[in-house]
Amino acid sequence: MTLLTDKVAVITGGAQGLGLAMAQELSREGARVVIGDLDGARAREAAASLGGEAVGVACDVVDAEQVQALIDTARQRWGSLDVFVNNAGITRDATMRTMDEDAFDQVIQVHLKGCWNGTRLAAAVMREQKAGAIVNISSLSGKVGMVGQTNYSAAKAGIVGMTKAAAKEMAHHGVRVNAIAPGLIRSAMTEAMPSKAWEQKMAEIPMQRAGEPAEVASVALFLASDLSSYMTGTVLEVTGGRFM
Smallest CA-to-CA distance from 138 within 113, 165, 120, 112 is with 112
Neighbours of 114 (CB within 10 A): 27
- If you ran DSSP here, which 8-state letter would residue 111 be given? I
The 10s digit of each residue's pLDDT in 91-144 is: 999 999 999 999 999 999 999 999 999 999 999 999 999 999 999 999 999 999
Has this prediction a pTM greater than 0.95?
yes
> In a 3-state reduction of DSSP, which class is residue 85?
strand
Mean pLDDT of the chain: 96
Q: What's the residue count for the chain?
A: 244
Instruction: Give yes or no: 152 in active site.
Output: yes
Task: Give the contacts of 151 (CB within 8 A, at least 6 positions apart).
Answer: 92, 99, 103, 104, 106, 107, 108
- Which of 10, 152, 177, 236 does the annotation list as catalytic? 152
* Sequence letter at residue 184: L
Helix, strand, or coil (residue 133)? strand
Give the model confidence (pLDDT) of 145-203 as tens digits: 999 999 999 999 999 999 999 999 999 999 999 999 999 999 877 888 788 989 999 99
- DSSP tally for the chain: helices H, then strands E: 10, 7
Q: What is the pLDDT of residue 51?
A: 86
Structural domains in the chain? Answer: 8-238 (3.40.50.720)
